[in-house]
Amino acid sequence: MFDYKQVMVIRTDLEMSPGKIAVQVAHASLSAAENAKTKNNKWFKNWWNEQQKKVVVKVSSEKELKTLKNKAEDLGIPNRLIKDAGLTELTPGTPTALGVGPGPNEEIDKVTGDLPLLGE
C-alpha cells in the first residue's frame, strides 16, 4: 500500500509529441521532488521510501494548469510549474506541465484527484 504519491499534470491542448510529453513529465517530476525535499522533507522521504509512486493526468488549457498550481500553493503542497525552453516544438516560456508533490495521497488528491489519466 502506498500512502504517498506525486502527480504530473500535462497540457493536451499543445499537441506535443509523445517524446516531448515524456520530457516535460520528467522535468515536472524532478523539479517538484526537489521542491518537496526543501519544503517538506518528511513527505519527500516517505514518498522516496515507498518507491516514488507517480501518476500522470491531463488538462486541456494553460488556465487549468495555473489554477491547479494556485490550489497546490494555497494548500502548502510542494509543486513546480514547467515552462518550455523553446528549443524544439514550442514557443519559449510556454507552460507545459505541473508537478504536484510528492505528498500524502489525500493531500495530493485535493488538487488533482478529479483529473483524468493522460491515457484516457
Please tell me the predicted confidence (pLDDT) of residue 62: 98
- Residue type at position 104: P
| pTM for the whole structure | 0.95
Contact (Cβ atoms closer than 8 angstroms) between residue 39 and residue 78 = yes
Per-residue DSSP letter, 76: T
User: Could you tell me what percent of the chain has a pLDDT over 70?
Assistant: 100
Domains and CATH numbers, the chain: 4-112 (3.40.1490.10)
Instruction: Give the pLDDT mean for 97-112.
Output: 98
Cell numbers for 79, please give them. 509543486
Could you tell me if 47 and 6 are in contact, meaning their C-beta atoms sit under 8 angstroms apart? Answer: yes
**What is the tens place of the pLDDT at every residue in 26-57?**
999 999 999 999 999 999 999 999 999 999 99
Closest to 36 in 3D by CA, of 48, 24, 27, 50: 48
Task: Give the pairing type, strands 95-104 and 79-83.
Answer: antiparallel
